[in-house]
Structure 1
Amino acid sequence: MTSRSAAQPTILERVAAGDPGAVKDVLSRYSALVWSLASGLSRDPHEIEDVVQDIFVDVWRSSKRYDPRVASEATFIATIARRRVIDRRRRAGRRVDPEPLEEELAPGADDPSLRQVDIEDEAMQAKEVLAELSGDRRRVLELSVVTGLTHREIAADTGIPLGTVKSHIRRGLVEVSERLKARRVAHGEDGE
């Protein structure tokens, strides 16, 4: 008995083999699926088009990994699409919209070398305060803030339940904030 891939290659197997007609076939068959998954990301059609393009680029790159014995082509492509949409959401969530500064800068505050010293000092203080936290709370907070893992990824990596991960992060951030504020007050730096 011959296997399906030996008798007639799938579209993704043809893409992996470099068949130029396969690209058109993939787009024809799966563009609606990919578009519908990408549409959940945004109402902006330009952003959706960008995501769809990124997804199909990933499909071309990943086509050699496709195994019809493991999953259907639709499942394989949908998995790639979901991952790309999730990545986009994460990046969008981390993006900070710049806001104009309303306050007048102090004399010398426009000197980049002074601002760099302030940033380095703040980072050092935050690192010191983070090191003061208890074991699991510190570890979970570092994985979230420093490494950029999601709550679910942290739970999977550490074996700590998801709810506990969220509590550690929330309480850890509050504790770090309170300790930093206490340091500023102790050094007469807090303007409150």
Structure 2
Amino acid sequence: MDADTSRALLSRAIARVTNRDSDALKYVYRHTSAKLFGVCLRILNDREEAEDVLQDVYLSVWNKADRFDPEKASPITWLVSMARNRSIDKLRARGGRVMAGVEEAEALPDTAPLASTLVETDEDRLRLNGCLDQLDPKHAGAVRTAFFEGVTYDALAQMIGVPLGTMKSWIRRSLISLRACLEA
């Protein structure tokens, strides 16, 4: 099954969740939980907290599936964004920060388990990495650290030693460049 078909099936399942279809939620969980758990665990670095956040994410899917718009984002992007944001909120609530050296930001490996080839393909990952490699190395490192490790912009600005406004500008411009690259 190709990636477009997989995305369509996942989008339809989320749409069915809006009607309280528990089988549809099971489908979404089965095809995305490994990836989302990897995102939560990577940010929180605590298995129990990651499991709690993951449960919270699927509860949100159950209650807010009607907010998903397949025209604005792919289903996995929507779900990963939710998992990332919830994990960062949990991290902030406990007063913790993700500590990683700036040198590590440019070469962060993606060790999160893949949910399945239905959700994310190697081609998509290679394309994203290729687009990231076209950015200024500092900017690409900042994007990777913020989005793959869950470091807040404020913490990232402090780690690198630049003003918060500068960091926000780097990330914003980088995301615009990434969007253009990925849409090309």
Taking structure 2 as the reference length, what is the TM-score of the superposition? 0.46
